[in-house]
A and B are shown apart, each in its own frame.
Chain A
């Protein structure tokens, strides 16, 4: 690691924001599971590390009926895996969290960090997207909210501006009768980045939501496809159709992890399997 940095551990959110705004090359440290690798590989030159773990504002992790789920920036992924409320109300998020990296890493990696790292293939965004998650941001100009589907701006790029940091992420209460599932394909059963990850949800009103990772520069919510499915009405025939149609809505690349051809096929298969599993639950 070539970076030589000052380590700063603020006690209040405003201190953190001011520091981040003032100092060039300052980076937010929460779980560190992504940041430490960037540092080790000398992909960034950090002069300031702002460890936000002590901020009281980011500790929140609660589900309130009728309101929804709040996940503070300090919440590590294993807490989401272990949460009975998440398992019951947001199964796709539970499954995505359980699929993320390894057990040890999930003891450090945070949900918000997984969003802020803005990796195209991150496991949590597809599930968070289908729940219409909203990102709560604090910054020099005050607090603001950004819907998650507008938060990702490109590979490793987000809507965060200088001095801003994510305080929490909020998911509306899906209500009764909501169903969801996250399916992923990887190169092995052990910890691996998803080759493709697909979250599918059927809302209480029967409408479908689809989130997908690793098929574009950012995780995607496939709204156009959702509309087409909802228009046709959900049935096994629609599922078969959608499994083909999805290939028109994504533009995966070939890289070291997978060819585009396989990603297309997996997007199709995982969407089909996900929707069928949800329909079966209905039957």
Chain B
């Protein structure tokens, strides 16, 4: 960390405090749901479908039920409860038909894990394998419906658009301008296809939930490794037809999420098992294998994009079609698909455009939110296309982007006018391009010369943009209380699963209240009975939205403190100021009270009290957002855009295909750094996850759509040996008018467009355009061997299942 020299103009905001949860985490004291044991707790194991699509002919549970220690055995016959975030399309247990290799067929709760596992091994199921829907093309043909009840599925009307008698869970659209005319008038029209496979989140703590469901009342108590306690509460209440107050959700420390724990997953199953077992708490914990093949993934995606440009490099028209291979259930997938219609041309001003984004059911592991929420995927399409356009135009890719990037006065895809307060994409691009010393593309001669050495270097860069993908009325709140010692306790409804949010929010409160951060405590554990509401912990919106709520709460707290202090000091609150934990009179600073003196109410010398325990709250709701028009996609979806850019330098071994990443420069217009150490952590972690998607990761299916790599043996993530030579973070601080201290979210952004930048650098190195991820050693070698200049999915036999 020695090279970073960030300095803040604020006393507490912008300072590199240690994260508040660190000490508990380095001593083994931090308790995760995985660690929790409750009195009488049972353990459950699931039986998963061995087929992508099969009819369940019969299930014989008798031997499992007879096993001593088994307390409950459930199959799809035992419950018709449906769950789903935006589409109620998922049965807790399969009934009739299984929809993916990993769908839960039955579950056993027993005294211990071993007995539960043994119970599962005694279940006898007869399946009739059915022809599966293998990919988006088969799905769009619609001969087989993954959900034959799609026309009846309960869904979020007006935002998602399931298509009748089809496999399309939602078809979202946007369009503007006169596209046909623009293509006709363009000097050059280029059409390309890009694709990438499903990728796993790989939180180190697998999904786990403990649920105690009282069979004699409606009460359901949940402890879960999850990102969104209030979403779980709402969906459980909705699916189980009980009130939200009947559901209590506790979130202890969470061992990583990345979007994979944004929704609701094992909780309903654990609840059913608990009820069946007479109300004993039941723990359901995914094995690593289940984490890969039962729990959701990032969807695979195919983007088809057609772009019209003038010969001097102005983009006039874009037609994009994004097909998301979302697997068996919609979950968050439909919302991921929705983002493409307002963000799917990238941070560029395009006057004539149309986007069709289809979230498509297939018989694969289902998809959900994943860091970047569709933007890594769409930017893989957009930023590779931009690079190819610049090749065809013979314009430097930096110059080409600079001609087209959004700037104040431009409109986004959904018609929102950009202002200086949105931050500057151009500042980001210029910073990273400078950092890697870009001087233009490699010439063919240089390429050939280097090729002879066996290793060719290349540079590339890519833009990125993302705004929180959330309902227009997304809201959050904080409650702030003062303890007797003058310290402050805050409660939020969102979860810090490692991002560092509680530290950042404490810094904002410390700045506002002007007191040491050590005196501010935010519990990382959430209890929906006590903590205030938050929509979901997703979308890089926590610091932005909860930060604003903290500011409001802090100011309310100060107002209340000053009211009490004014009475005690016999003055007007307006004459009072605060600093360093003291309220004082502006003109006579010796007339003062410490926070501690008024924390629980001020006490006069004779014992009389006034005021009372100090408590304040702050709420924050997205400002001025609208649902998008169902046909044109016009509207205001973005509470806050964060723009950024990555530039990379790589070295390709042309014989083995291995790519060495020498340097990554990452710039984000984050408005204001709240804690440089935490931002740096997000950048290092996000960039490496992005490199995983770029070079390595992806689900592989066989012809029967069975997942071939459901373990760390074959579903690899980058290790310490795989870090790039250097990561250079660059913080651009054009403040956001309504961000806390001008700050914007940056949790997901470091992952977005890392693959695009690598893909562009591979072109620079090899003169070959790869249209498919990952850029594995195998893909590079087979790509080179093919002799083609454009490498599609079908050219490298390393993505079975996608096509």
Interface residues of A (CB under 8 A from B): 1-2, 42, 185, 187-193, 195, 254, 256-259, 261-262, 265-266, 269, 273
What are the residues of chain B within 8 A of A185 when measuring CB–CB? Answer: 656, 658, 777
Q: Indicate if the CB atoms of A259 and B782 lie closer than 8 Å.
A: yes
What are the residues of chain B within 8 A of A256 when measuring CB–CB? Answer: 700, 708-709, 714
Instruction: Please tell me which stretch of B235-243, B418-426, B633-641, B715-723 contacts chain A, meaning at least 4 of its Cβ atoms lie within 8 angstroms of it.
Output: B715-723
Cβ of B713 under 8 Å from chain A: yes
| Interface residue ranges of B768-788 to A (CB < 8 Å) | 776-778, 781-782, 785
Measured CA separation A265–B721 after assembly (Å): 24
Measured CA separation A192–B719 after assembly (Å): 10
Look across to chain B and name the residue whose beta carbon is closest to the beta carbon of A183. Answer: B656
What are the residues of chain A within 8 A of B700 when measuring CB–CB? Answer: 256
What are the residues of chain A within 8 A of B695 when measuring CB–CB? Answer: 188
Interface residues of B (CB under 8 A from A): 114, 117-118, 121, 655-658, 695-696, 700, 708-709, 713-714, 716, 718-722, 776-778, 781-782, 785, 797-798
Given known pairs A1-B114, A192-B716, A269-B655, the reply for A259 and B797 (CB within 8 Å) is: yes
The 25 listed contacts between A and B (C-beta, < 8 Å) are: A1-B114, A2-B114, A2-B117, A2-B121, A185-B656, A187-B777, A188-B718, A188-B719, A188-B721, A189-B721, A190-B719, A191-B719, A193-B713, A195-B778, A256-B708, A256-B709, A259-B778, A259-B797, A259-B798, A261-B785, A262-B777, A262-B782, A265-B785, A269-B655, A269-B656
Which 3 A-B residue pairs are closest in the complex by CB-CB distance? A190-B719, A189-B721, A256-B708
Q: Indicate if the CB atoms of B778 and A262 lie closer than 8 Å.
A: yes
What are the residues of chain B within 8 A of A257 when measuring CB–CB? Answer: 714
What are the residues of chain B within 8 A of A190 when measuring CB–CB? Answer: 716, 718-722
Q: Indicate if the CB atoms of B716 and A187 lie closer than 8 Å.
A: yes
What are the residues of chain B within 8 A of A191 when measuring CB–CB? Answer: 719
Measured CA separation A13–B475 after assembly (Å): 70
Q: Indicate if the CB atoms of A266 and B722 lie closer than 8 Å.
A: no
Given known pairs A188-B722, A256-B700, A256-B709, the reply for A261 and B782 (CB within 8 Å) is: yes
Measured CA separation A195–B657 after assembly (Å): 13
Measured CA separation A234–B716 after assembly (Å): 39
Q: Indicate if the CB atoms of A188 and B656 lie closer than 8 Å.
A: no
Q: Indicate if the CB atoms of B719 and A189 lie closer than 8 Å.
A: yes
7 additional A-B residue pairs with CB within 8 Å, beyond A190-B720, A254-B797: A2-B114, A185-B656, A187-B716, A189-B719, A191-B719, A259-B798, A265-B785
What are the residues of chain B within 8 A of A188 when measuring CB–CB? Answer: 695-696, 716, 718-719, 721-722
What are the residues of chain A within 8 A of B117 when measuring CB–CB? Answer: 1-2
What are the residues of chain A within 8 A of B714 when measuring CB–CB? Answer: 256-257
In the complex, how many angstroms separate the beta carbon of A181 from the nearest chain B beta carbon?
15
Q: Indicate if the CB atoms of B716 and A265 lie closer than 8 Å.
A: no
Measured CA separation A273–B654 after assembly (Å): 13
Given known pairs A256-B709, A257-B714, the reply for A262 and B720 (CB within 8 Å) is: no
In the complex, how many angstroms separate the beta carbon of B23 from the nearest chain A beta carbon?
25
In the complex, how many angstroms separate the beta carbon of B224 from the nearest chain A beta carbon?
25
What are the residues of chain B within 8 A of A269 when measuring CB–CB? Answer: 655-656
Given known pairs A188-B718, A190-B716, the reply for A2 and B655 (CB within 8 Å) is: no
What are the residues of chain B within 8 A of A193 when measuring CB–CB? Answer: 713
What are the residues of chain A within 8 A of B722 when measuring CB–CB? Answer: 188-190
What are the residues of chain A within 8 A of B118 when measuring CB–CB? Answer: 2
In the complex, how many angstroms separate the beta carbon of A132 from the nearest chain B beta carbon?
28
What are the residues of chain A within 8 A of B716 when measuring CB–CB? Answer: 187-188, 190, 192
In the complex, how many angstroms separate the beta carbon of B369 from the nearest chain A beta carbon?
25
Contact pick for B655, options A189, A192, A195, A273, CB 8 Å: A273
Measured CA separation A190–B717 after assembly (Å): 9
Contact pick for B696, options A2, A187, A195, A265, CB 8 Å: A187
In the complex, how many angstroms separate the beta carbon of B327 from the nearest chain A beta carbon?
19
Contact pick for B781, options A192, A262, A273, CB 8 Å: A262
Look across to chain B and name the residue whose beta carbon is closest to the beta carbon of A185. Answer: B656
Contact pick for B778, options A1, A2, A189, A258, CB 8 Å: A258
Measured CA separation A206–B117 after assembly (Å): 58
Measured CA separation A266–B777 after assembly (Å): 10
Of the listed residues B720, B721, B778, the one surrounded by the most CB atoms of chain A closer than 10 A to its CB is B778
Measured CA separation A1–B708 after assembly (Å): 21
In the complex, how many angstroms separate the beta carbon of A255 from the nearest chain B beta carbon?
8
Measured CA separation A189–B713 after assembly (Å): 14
Measured CA separation A192–B695 after assembly (Å): 15
Measured CA separation A190–B114 after assembly (Å): 32
In the complex, how many angstroms separate the beta carbon of A145 from the nearest chain B beta carbon?
33
What are the residues of chain A within 8 A of B658 when measuring CB–CB? Answer: 185
What are the residues of chain A within 8 A of B721 when measuring CB–CB? Answer: 188-190
In the complex, how many angstroms separate the beta carbon of A116 from the nearest chain B beta carbon?
19
What are the residues of chain B within 8 A of A262 when measuring CB–CB? Answer: 657, 777-778, 781-782, 798
Measured CA separation A268–B658 after assembly (Å): 15
What are the residues of chain B within 8 A of A265 when measuring CB–CB? Answer: 781, 785
Measured CA separation A193–B785 after assembly (Å): 24
Of the listed residues A1, A42, A188, A273, the one surrounded by the most CB atoms of chain B closer than 10 A to its CB is A188
Look across to chain A and name the residue whose beta carbon is closest to the beta carbon of B707. Answer: A256
In the complex, how many angstroms separate the beta carbon of A130 from the nearest chain B beta carbon?
21
What are the residues of chain B within 8 A of A2 when measuring CB–CB? Answer: 114, 117-118, 121
Measured CA separation A9–B710 after assembly (Å): 34
In the complex, how many angstroms separate the beta carbon of A236 from the nearest chain B beta carbon?
15
Look across to chain A and name the residue whose beta carbon is closest to the beta carbon of B785. Answer: A265
What are the residues of chain A within 8 A of B655 when measuring CB–CB? Answer: 269, 273
What are the residues of chain A within 8 A of B797 when measuring CB–CB? Answer: 254, 259, 261
In the complex, how many angstroms separate the beta carbon of A39 from the nearest chain B beta carbon?
12
In the complex, how many angstroms separate the beta carbon of B655 from the nearest chain A beta carbon?
5
In the complex, how many angstroms separate the beta carbon of B208 from the nearest chain A beta carbon?
18
Q: Indicate if the CB atoms of A42 and B121 lie closer than 8 Å.
A: yes
Look across to chain B and name the residue whose beta carbon is closest to the beta carbon of A186. Answer: B777
Of the listed residues A189, A261, A262, A265, the one surrounded by the most CB atoms of chain B closer than 10 A to its CB is A262
What are the residues of chain B within 8 A of A1 when measuring CB–CB? Answer: 114, 117
Measured CA separation A191–B708 after assembly (Å): 19
What are the residues of chain B within 8 A of A189 when measuring CB–CB? Answer: 719, 721-722
Q: Indicate if the CB atoms of A266 and B121 lie closer than 8 Å.
A: no
In the complex, how many angstroms separate the beta carbon of A239 from the nearest chain B beta carbon?
13
What are the residues of chain A within 8 A of B782 when measuring CB–CB? Answer: 259, 261-262
In the complex, how many angstroms separate the beta carbon of B41 from the nearest chain A beta carbon?
20
In the complex, how many angstroms separate the beta carbon of A254 from the nearest chain B beta carbon?
7
Measured CA separation A185–B708 after assembly (Å): 20
Measured CA separation A91–B777 after assembly (Å): 26
In the complex, how many angstroms separate the beta carbon of A47 from the nearest chain B beta carbon?
15
In the complex, how many angstroms separate the beta carbon of A178 from the nearest chain B beta carbon?
26
